[in-house]
Chains A and B, each alone.
Chain A
């Protein structure tokens, strides 16, 4: 069974640009969550999508947005990039019911110059 895949693995952007990250969940998983991981703030929840609907949201500005497609694949978009957006962005998939195990992808390393 294939794991969670994220593309691209590495990305370099400049301030003010926007970026789109992609996540393909494990087959059969309907929930996709996104997390930002930085040395200073650790792992922080961005949002969760379930059956194409945003079900949960963390405390991030509106520059961070996402969507989920009918095949459960998800994209995350960050507009007007700031230096502080440099981080590892992790995607996790699960069946989506309570207390299900989340399976994480390897992440996309975003560097903003």
Chain B
């Protein structure tokens, strides 16, 4: 059962542009929503995470927007750079689930100069 839906599957953005990746979840028990970045040949690395008690969280050029009523959240990458080219995964977990994380299907981002 796909519990976290992610779109788009791939994304091409010009350098300096805004990259937007969207995710939707079904399980209302989820209460922690991390985003991971994965480069080829590497494991995923935590980029930024949000709890549902806030609607937005910003860290540098990366912002998560969260809409609890719609059960949707998104990642915005401002001023996208070629070094941001990677695969991005949204994810979700719930209290009591500890490290059991449900991942979205991933978005392959390419930032072209």
Contact = CB atoms under 8 A, between A and B. Distances in A.
Interface string B24-66: 0000000010100000011111100101000000000000000
A56 B43 contact: no
> Which 6 residue pairs across A and B have the least CB separation, nearest first?
A104-B43, A43-B103, A56-B100, A33-B99, A42-B105, A48-B99
A56 B89 CA distance: 21
B44 A56 contact: no
The main secondary structure of chain A at its interface with chain B is: strand
Interface of A: 4, 31, 33, 35, 42-45, 48, 50, 55-56, 58, 90, 92, 94, 96-107
Given A43-B89, A56-B97, A99-B32, A90 B44 contact: yes
A43 B89 CA distance: 9
Contacts, number: 65
Interface in B55-113: 89, 93, 95, 97-106
Contact of B98 (A4, A35, A42, A55): A55
